[in-house]
Amino acid sequence: MRIRQLLALFCVTILIAGVTGACTQFEQRDKRFYYRALWNFALRENLRELDIEFNGVDFGHSHLYENLLLTGAQNVPVIEERARKETLRFIDSRPVLNPNEEAIAPTYMKLAWKAQNTFDEAHALHRATYDIYVSDLADRQAAIRKVLAFYQDSEYAITAKRLDHQRLDTFPYSKSFRRKFPLFNATIWSYHYLQVVVYDVLAASPDLLSKQKAVAPILRTYHAYLDQPPVEWTFMPMTEELSPKFAAEFPEIANVFNNLHMMHDNISDILTTDLLSTWEEKRKKIYRVTQAYYWASADATNPFIVGDGQPHHSGSTPAMKSGAPGGHSGH
Partner 1 sequence: MDRYITRIAILLLLMVPTVVWALDHDNLDPNRPIAIEDAYVVPKGEIGVEGGILFSDRKQGRSRFVFQPQLIIGAFDNTQLELSSDVQTDPRSVVGDDKSGNLTVGALYNVNTETLSLPAFAARVQLGLPTGVSAKGVDTALTGVMTRSYGRWRTHVNVGYSFLGSPQGQERSGTYRVVAAVSYPLGYPTSFNDTIIANIFTRQSDLVGQRNPTGVGIGLRHQVSSRVVVDAGLGSEFIGPADRSVFFSTVGLSVGF
Residues that bind partner 1 (CB under 8 A): 2, 5, 9, 12-13, 16-17, 19-20, 23-34, 36, 41, 44, 59, 63, 86, 89-90, 93, 95, 97, 99-100, 102-104, 106-107, 109-111, 113, 279, 283
Q: Which is nearer to partner 1, 135 or 243 (CB)?
A: 135
Least spacing, CB of residue 96 vs partner 1, in Å? 9
Phi, then psi, of 292 in degrees rounded to 5: -90, -30
Least spacing, CB of residue 210 vs partner 1, in Å? 25
Least spacing, CB of residue 255 vs partner 1, in Å? 25
Least spacing, CB of residue 256 vs partner 1, in Å? 20
DSSP 165-200: HHHHT-STTTTHHHHH-HHHHHHHHHHHHHHHHHHH
Q: Which is nearer to partner 1, 96 or 204 (CB)?
A: 96
Least spacing, CB of residue 117 vs partner 1, in Å? 9
Phi, then psi, of 96 in degrees rounded to 5: -85, -15
As a whole number of angstroms, the distance between CA 168 and CA 311 comes to 13
As a whole number of angstroms, the distance between CA 182 and CA 159 comes to 28
Least spacing, CB of residue 34 vs partner 1, in Å? 8
Q: Please state, as a whole number, how many other Cβ atoms lie within 10 Å of the Cβ of residue 94.
A: 12
Amino acid at 61: H
**Sign for the pseudo-dihedral over CA of 70, 185, 81, 63:** positive
Partners of 305 in the β-ladder: 163
Closest CA to 229 of 325, 162, 129: 325
DSSP 217-276: HHHHHHHHHHHS--TT--S---HHHHSHHHHHH-HHHHHHHHHHHHHHHHHHHHHH-SSS
Task: Give CA angle at 33 (165, 42), nearest 5°.
Answer: 85
Contact 15, 105 (CB under 8 A): no
Q: Which is nearer to partner 1, 26 or 301 (CB)?
A: 26
Amino acid at 148: L
Q: Which is nearer to partner 1, 3 or 300 (CB)?
A: 3
Least spacing, CB of residue 120 vs partner 1, in Å? 10
Q: Which is nearer to partner 1, 36 or 206 (CB)?
A: 36
Q: Which is nearer to partner 1, 232 or 281 (CB)?
A: 281
Contact 191, 158 (CB under 8 A): no
Q: Which is nearer to partner 1, 38 or 209 (CB)?
A: 38
Q: Which is nearer to partner 1, 90 or 250 (CB)?
A: 90
